[in-house]
Amino acid sequence: MPSRAECEAVVRQLWPFVDGMVSETQREFIVDHLAQCEPCKSHFDFAKAFLEAVHEAKPHFDVEDGLNERVMAALAGAGYRG
């Protein structure tokens, strides 16, 4: 069973991991950890389900022209690669 410190390190890196923003070494460490740690895997499953739900959400209102592009540019400026 992984140590508590290892689990804390993995959970801190889950969002960057899901976004593909970790090094290959970190990615391998996290994948290996998730394969053997059910509590951390549940955190990962939540993050993944949350992002999928956001992605699938449809706006319920008319969106101003260019809003999507401005939001995506702001996210890209903050380091998001989606």
Asked if residue 1 has pLDDT above 80, the reply is no
Domain extents for the chain? 4-77
**pTM over 0.95, yes/no:** no
pLDDT at residue number 82: 66
What is the C-alpha separation between 75 and 47, in angstroms, rounded?
18
Alpha carbons 44 and 11: distance in angstroms, whole number: 8
> Of all residues in the chain, what percent carry a pLDDT higher than 70?
96
Angle between helices 24-36 and 38-56 (to 10 degrees): 110
d(CA 38, CA 64): 43
Is pLDDT at 55 greater than 90 in this prediction? Answer: no
Q: Which fold has domain 4-77?
A: Arc Repressor Mutant, subunit A (1.10.10)
Residues 24-53 have pLDDT tens digits of 999 999 999 999 999 999 999 999 999 889
